[in-house]
Each structure stands twice: as C-alpha cells, then as structure tokens.
Structure 1
Amino acid sequence: MTAPSPATPTPPTPRILSVPVLSWGLWDWGSAAFNSVATTFVFSVYLTTPGLFADGDGGTGALSMGLLIAGIVVAIAAPITGQQGDRRGRSHLLLAFFTALVVISMLAMFFVYPTSPLGSVGALWLGVALLGFGNIFFEFASVNYNAMLPRISTRQTMGRVSGLGWGLGYIGGIILLALMYVGFIAPEVGWFGITAVDYLNIRVVMVISAVWFAVFAIPVLAFFPHRPADPAALAAPRETLPAAYRRLWSTVRSLARVSPPTLKFMVASAIFRDGLAGVFTYGAIIAAGTFHMSQGDILIFGIVANVVAGLFTIGCGPLDDWLGPKRVIVSSLILMVGCGIAIFVLHDAGTWVFWVFGLVLSSFVGPVQAASRSLLGRLVPEGHEGEVFGLYATTGRAVSFLSPAFFASAMWFGGLVINKGESSQYFGILGIVIILLAGAALTAPLSVGRRGDRHVVMDIS
C-alpha cells in the first residue's frame, strides 16, 4: 500500500512591515513633494498667479501648454521606458536616474522669480519647462516604481502593500505642506530669516521639497531586491526606437491573446482614473463657486481630506487582499457616485454638504488608486511589469480629455434647464459622476476567482 504523499505546506504570509516594503513605500512618501508642492499647491499656483509672471490667464495658458506637451511625451514613451527596465534588469537604475532628474528639476525652480535676469516672461517659461520636465521624469520613474510592486508582495499581500505606499504618499505630502506653510509661506519672516522678498520663501520651499524627495528615495534604491537582467538582452545591441515599438506592439498582441483581462482593465481603469483626476481638478472649483467657501476653508478642507484619504487607503489594504481589488474598486466608485449625486442634489443646503459628502468621497479616492495598482500587479505577466505599467500610464494619458469635456458638457446642459442668469456650475458634478460610473460598469464584469487564499483572474464575461 502506497503511503499518501504529505500535503504541501502553505508558505507563510510575508510580513508587510519588512525592510523592502517600507523602503518601497518611502518613495511614495517622498514623491509627494513633487505631487503636492510642485504640481498642486505651491509652485503651479505661484506660476499662474495673475500679474506675477503674466497678466490675466497668461500664466495658466502657458502652464497648460507645457503640461499638454509633457503628457504627450509620457503617453508615447512610457511603455518603452518600462520595457527597457524589464529586459535589462535596470529598474533600479532607471528609477534612480529619473528620480534624480525630478529632484534636479525641483532644485532649478529656485531660479524662477519675476525679477530674475530672464525677465518675468522668461522666468515663466523656465518654470513651465521645469514643471513639464519634472512631470515627464516623474511619470517615467513611477513606471519603474510601480513595476516593483509584484516583486515585494504576493497575491495575499499586494493590496496591503499598495495601499500602504499610496497612503504614505498622502500623509507625507500633507506633513511636508504643513511644515512649509508654517515655516516659510505663512509668516512674514520664516525659519532661518527667510522672507518673501523676490519670493525667496517659495523658492526655498522648492529646494527643501527636492531634498525631501531625494532623502526618502534613497531607501528603495539601497534596500530593494534587484532582479537579474536577461543575459540575452544585455548581450544584444541596444534597440532602435522603431524596434522597441515593434516589440511593444508584439507585447500588446500577446496580452490580447493570453491575458485579455489586462488590456480590458487598462481601458476601464483609464476611464475611472480620469474621473478621479476630475475630482481633484474640480473639487476646489466647486467648493469656491457653488458652496462659496473661502480660500482658507478650502485649504483646511484639502488638508483634512488628504489625511483622511491617506489613513483610509492604508486601512483598506486588507480589504483588497481579503475581498479582492475589483470589489474594492467597484464598491468605492459606486459610493463616490452616490456622494457626488448627494452634493448635486443638496448643493443649496450649505457648506456642511460639501464637508460631509466631499470628505466621504475623498476618502475613497486613495483605495481606488491603490487597488487599481494592485489589480494590475496581479494581472501582469511576470517579466513584463515595467512595460505593462508603462502602457497603464499611456492609457491614462490617452483619455485625459474626458473629465474636462464631461464637466463642461454637463454645465452646458445645466444652463439649458435652469433659470437664465443662475450658475450651472454644480451640474458639472454630474459629468464627473458619469465618468466614475462608466469606469465602475466596465470594471464590474472582471471576474476574480480564488485559488486557496490567493486571488487569481479567471475570466472576463
């Protein structure tokens, strides 16, 4: 009689708070210096302030043109950047290289001020160029950074790891913003005697933010496990750009054949990610125009919303691993749609509506983003992480027109149905709601089955 073979023991679940995971998450924490300080709250506002570098909306127009060009470059080149990291095992090197270029771009922002030798117009275009280059390099770095997620997590832990990183990004950005506001922006004489003469306080903030990013990027470069390079790829001559794009197209066709869920999810996520971008873009506009909140109140709301979003994103990581990322994404998007409709219906009831439903809505933005990253990490074929995350960045850029178009169209429709002379701005909320609902509808058919304790993609019906 043959003895039964012993059952294969289940490997222990890797620790979340390990050195590789924490060092990876600290890059998210540090990168908020670029996202929060450079692109959202400080440097972009500084460049576009009317009368500072240009009259009226001249600064806004210049910045929009620069970011449009940067977006096109990212959409074209991001997959190729990831592809090279995959094949040559140089994701560490590429992450370090592009992070350094972002840091250098931020350091150079010190030289952007209206009375500089370049003149106000020259300084404006220098600032636009630095912010555009920073965006390009940041997206390239993010491709290689996101591609590391499957290497420090399993299907059991990917949601918690992704949520931890994204949550750290929210919290790190708010802490840095608060320090810079208290230390340099708010007081007449800030720390180290820095004043607003020649906007030195803003310029020093950019230098400190660059150092912040550089310091917190070091751990992932020092402690993250390297992936060995493909010897054949290293021995082969460097590919030309046309050859790299032929290889990329071959990958897309292979994904369509062997992993169609990956491509379908990219389309769905591109749509709802643009809806999330619309939440950030138009949230403050709705707060000021529809709810008549002051700039100070909007800033306080932004700080509270980001802290809540960061903590909620970390807290939802276990739900990602337990229920599966698709359920987190779809349920979060539906709750956001409900909050958006509530804000639309109750817009005349006072600012409490925006505080209550706006905070609830904001708390689900991070879980959607983190779960989207973890779901793609579960779908991507091994060895193609950088290339696929590059495609992920490209698809997001490809539909970046959706939020502005739907917001404007909904406002136009609102102007047709309300009394003449009344503001139809609050109708724009419905445009964002439609995009989020469409993203949820496209994501919902993605079936995620279970194999033991691990979530695996089975089919798309």
Structure 2
Amino acid sequence: MTEITAQSGAGMDTTPTHIPRGRVLAWSLWDWGSAAFNAVVTTFVFTVYITSSSFGDKDVISAQLGWALAAAGLLIALLAPVTGQRSDVAGRRKFWLGVNTALVVALTAAMFFVEASPSYLLLGLVLVASGNVFFEFAGVNYNAMLAQVSTPRTIGKVSGFGWGMGYLGGIVLLLIVYFGFIHPEVGWFGVTDANGLAVRVSMLISAAWFGLFALPLLLTVPEYRVPPQARRERVGFFGSYVRLGRDIARLWAVSRPTVWFLVASAIFRDGLAGVFTFGGVLAASVFGFSAGEVIIFAIAANVVAGVATISVGALDDRLGAKPVIVTALIGLVISAALIFLLHDGGQIVFWTAGLALCLFVGPAQSASRTFLARLIPPGREGEVFGLYATTGRAVSFLAPTAFAAFVGIFGATYWGILGIMLVLLAGLLALLPVTAKQEQLR
C-alpha cells in the first residue's frame, strides 16, 4: 500500500505519520457521493423544481425556501456541537456519520413523492430543510475525521482533494440525471417530464448515489479511538451543554483567535451556502435558464470549482489557509457584484461572472476547514467542528434572510444577489483582523 508520510514534530505524539492513500480515497468518496445532496438537491435540480411556476409564484416560493432553510439552520445551531462532542467522548464518529448519512439518503429518496403541484410545496420544503439538518450533522463527523486521514504536511492537500472530489462527483451525477432523465422528451425507463417525474426519479438516483459512495468510508476507515489524554467522563444530553459552555469559556481564555475565526468563518460560510442554495434559483428566475440549461451550467461550474479546489490545496499547505480564504472572498464579492450590476445583460453575464464566482467557492471552503483543523487539540475534533457548524448555523439565517428580505422589499428575485454579496463582504471584513499561529496539526 502506497503511503503518505510526514515527520512528526514536538508535541505531535498522536499525529498520524503514515496514511494509506486508499484511506484518503475512501474518505474523499463520501464527498464525491455528497454531491447528490449539495449539487442535485439544494442547488441545481430539486430547489429549482420546487421554486418553479408549477408550485406558485416564483418570487414568493423563493422567499419561502429561504425561511425554511433558516429554520433548519436554527436546529443545527442548537444541536451540532453537542452531537459532535458526544461522538468524540463515545468514540463513535463513524457510527454517527453512517446514521446521519442514511437519514439524508432516505429524505432524498422521499423527494420522489413531491409532485408538480402547489399542494406538495410544503412537503418539498420540509424535506429540503430536514435533509439540510442531517447533512450538516453528518458533515460534523466527516470533517472531524480529516485528522484521521491526513498528516501535518498534507492536511491542506487532503482537504482540497475531498472538496474537489465533491465537485467532480457532482459533474458525473448531473450528467447522468440531465442526459438520462431531464433533457430527453422520453428518458431512460420511459421517464418523461409529466408531473415532474424526471426530477422526481432523479432524486431516487441521487439517493442511491450518495448511499453507494458513502460505503467505502464506512467499511474501510477505522472508527475513531479516543486518545488517553482526551478521555472525558460521559454526561447526559443536557449536561453536554454545561460542558460545552465551560469549553467555550476555556477556548476564549486560551485561544481567542480561534473564537474570532469561528465567528468570521460563520459569516462568510453562510454566504457561501447562499451561493449554492440560491444559485440555481437565480439562474432560472432571473436569467431565464431552462431546467436543462441550469444543469449544463452546473456541470461547467463544478468543473471550474473542482479543478480550482484541488489545485489550491497545495498552496494552503505552503502559504497557510488565511491568504487563500481572503483572496477567495475578494473574488467572490467582485463576481457577485458583477452579476447584480449587469443582470440585464442576460445569460452571458451569469455564464461569465457565475463561473468566475465558482473559481473561488471551493478554495474558501476547503481552506476554512484546514485553518481550524490545525488548531484543534487531539480528541476534540468532533466538538470543535460541531462548534464550527453551530457558529455557522447560529448566523445561518443571514444569507437566506438577506436573500428573502431583499427579494421581498424590492419585489424582484435578482435583488437577492445583493443580499448574498453583502453577507460575503461582512465575512471578509470580520476575517481580516483574525490572527492565529497556524501550527502543524496537533
């Protein structure tokens, strides 16, 4: 077995120095499979479907989608750090990753029952919101496992490879659902677009896709073992909140830059989530893309994002995460501003500025994860990445609310672009003062 090697430094006794490449690949295949939810469900297919005229007024439904996702964010904010902490203490990260992945797969499959009628809109919104909750819980444990599949010298590269695999998986899956079901008048197995059947069958394919590619991680990556220095007494569910409060207070006392980074990253990550969530909606509602054209754009966008993310991973290891994040956020703000200001220019504007925007999204996400991973004490990954999810979701109302509010105030969907851009800009400004010595992992 080919292995990735790195030398251990002082104070890094528990850091892995030999990681089999097969384990890295198995871990990254979960990201590849997760494209079923990120790309197909929340960005380019299902949310575009339920915000179409088949379900009512497009502008009204776009705002309702924003409120539904804001409610999901509140649940994640309240529960994510405690669930992450408890998986750390119990040494059951992989187990809970499997449970939450299975729930996302089931909810995605249930989207098959959302027919193209206003009476099914509520079901569609509930399924999307619920899927976001369990997908985020799964992501807490998945991110925490980054330390199990990387070394101090490769963490940026491995993180970028995982994000890039997610984008590339999205390309393949979007090609399958587009040419297999959505584009042809009569798709595979005789599927047509009548009553939204093409999209609904695509949800079944997506569920199977995620479940299949989650298996390598669940079958080959070892379960997390709590290191001796990190073992803690188990407490009840509500006692976990007491412990969490003490841990946050201690984190504030010993590492304020980490706390400030959690806050800053929460803001800009919510802006990034807004790009994914509302990108397809904007393409269809503002720039006149058909359902098929949205998917073609999505394929091109994933190519750009995947290549950029994998390529920038090495720069993360060499230059540090913060320069990567700052550069990416500046690029995102400029690209979003161009889309807003030039929206009357038609589809060519969305193609050019939208693809430029995709160039920066993945690197910002991946580098944000590695910035934090380098600071986490051993045995606390699940808890701190739970805080990472919570701080993100504590302000997760920002992008959906800004999008919904701007659309509601000005009466046109394209104003939502400005709402998302302002959230990204606020995250950039909050990040600039953050300083933290980026030690090697552990």
Q: TM-score, normalised by structure 2?
A: 0.84
Asked if 1:312 corresponds to 2:315, the answer is no
Work out the CA distance in 1 between the residues paired with 2:61 and 2:137. Answer: 26
Q: Distance in 1 between matches of 2:437 and 2:43?
A: 39
Q: 1:437 to 1:181 in 2, by over 3 A?
A: same
Question: Which sits farther off after the overlay, 146-155 or 200-209?
Answer: 200-209
CA contact (8 A) 2:66 2:400 kept: no
Paired amino acid for 1:33: A
Partner of 1:447: 435
SS at the partner of 1:447? coil
Paired residues of 2:140 and 2:386 also in contact (CA < 8 A): yes
Q: Does 2:247 align with 1:251?
A: yes
Shift of 1:111: 3.1
SS in 1 for 2:374: helix
What is the distance in 2 between the residues matched to 1:85 and 1:51?
42
Counterpart of 2:91 in structure 1 is 89
C-alpha separation in 2, matches of 1:136 and 1:157: 30
Q: Equivalent residue for 2:133?
A: 136
Q: CA deviation at 1:29?
A: 0.5
* Stretch deviating more after TM superposition (370-379 or 282-291): 282-291
- Which position in structure 1 is the counterpart of 2:332? 336
Deviation at 1:271, TM superposition (A): 1.3
Aligned to 2:298: 302
Q: Hey, what's the Cα distance between the residues in 1 that align with 2:309 and 2:70?
A: 29
> Which residue matches 1:101?
103
- How well do the aligned residues superpose, as a CA RMSD in angstroms? 3.5
1:369 aligns with 2:351: no
By how many angstroms is 1:190 displaced? 1.5
Are the counterparts in 1 of residues 29 and 214 from structure 2 also a CA contact under 8 Å? yes
> Which segment drifts farther, 336-345 or 251-260?
336-345
Alpha-carbon distance in structure 2 between the residues aligned to 1:424 and 1:126: 25
- Point out where structure 1 has 5 or more consecutive residues left out of the alignment: 1-8, 416-422, 457-461
Is 1:407–1:432's contact at 8 Å kept on the other side of the alignment?
yes
Alignment equivalent of 2:23, drawn from 10, 20, 25: 20
Q: Aligned equivalents of 1:233 and 1:455: distance in 2? A: 16
Match of residue 49, structure 2, among 42, 46, 51: 46
Q: 1:275 to 1:345 in 2, by over 3 A?
A: same
Match of 1:36 among 11, 21, 39: 39
Amino acid at match of 1:195: T
Aligned residue identity for 1:139: E
Superposition deviation, residue 89 in structure 1: 0.3
Question: Mean Cα displacement is larger for which, 397-406 or 80-89?
Answer: 397-406
Structure 2 counterpart of 1:359: 355
Distance in 1, Cα, partners of 2:151 & 2:290: 46
Provide the rounded CA distance (Å) in 1 between the counterparts of 2:286 and 2:114: 34
Kindly provide the amino acid, as one letter, of the partner of residue 279 in structure 1: V
Matches within 5 A, 1:280-291: 280-281=276-277, 283=279
Aligned match of 1:160 in 157, 162, 165? 157
The structural deviation recorded for 1:303 is 2.4
- 1:65-93 C-alpha deviation (Å, 9 max, x unpaired): 54333222111111111011100000011
Q: Which residue is 1:5 aligned to?
A: none
CA change 1:256–1:213 in 2 (3 A) is same
Q: Is the 8 A contact 1:88 1:234 kept in 2?
A: no
5 Å-filtered alignment, 1:119-268, equals 121=119, 123-229=120-226, 239-268=235-264
* Alignment: residue pair count: 431
The percent identity for this pair of structures is 52
Distance in 2 between residues matched to 1:164 and 1:368, nearest whole Å: 13
Q: Which moved more, 1:393-402 or 1:336-345?
A: 336-345
After superposition, give the CA deviation of every residue in 1:282-316 in whole Å (9 maximum; x if it has no partner).
55566567766666655433321221011110110
Deviates most, 131-140 or 423-432: 423-432
* C-alpha distance in 2 between matches for 1:199 and 1:262: 46
User: Aligned to 2:75, which of 73, 76, 92?
Assistant: 73
Q: Secondary structure at the match of 1:329?
A: helix
Q: CA deviation at 1:397?
A: 1.6
Note closer, same or farther for the CA distance 1:219–1:288 as it changes in structure 2 (3 Å cut).
Answer: closer
TM-score of the superposed pair, with normalisation by structure 1: 0.81
Q: Aligned AA for 2:90?
A: R
Gaps of 5+ in 2: 1-5, 10-15
Higher relative contact order (CA 8 A, sep 6+): 2
Q: Which amino acid aligns with 1:443?
A: L
The one-letter code sitting in structure 1 at the alignment partner of 2:166 is: G
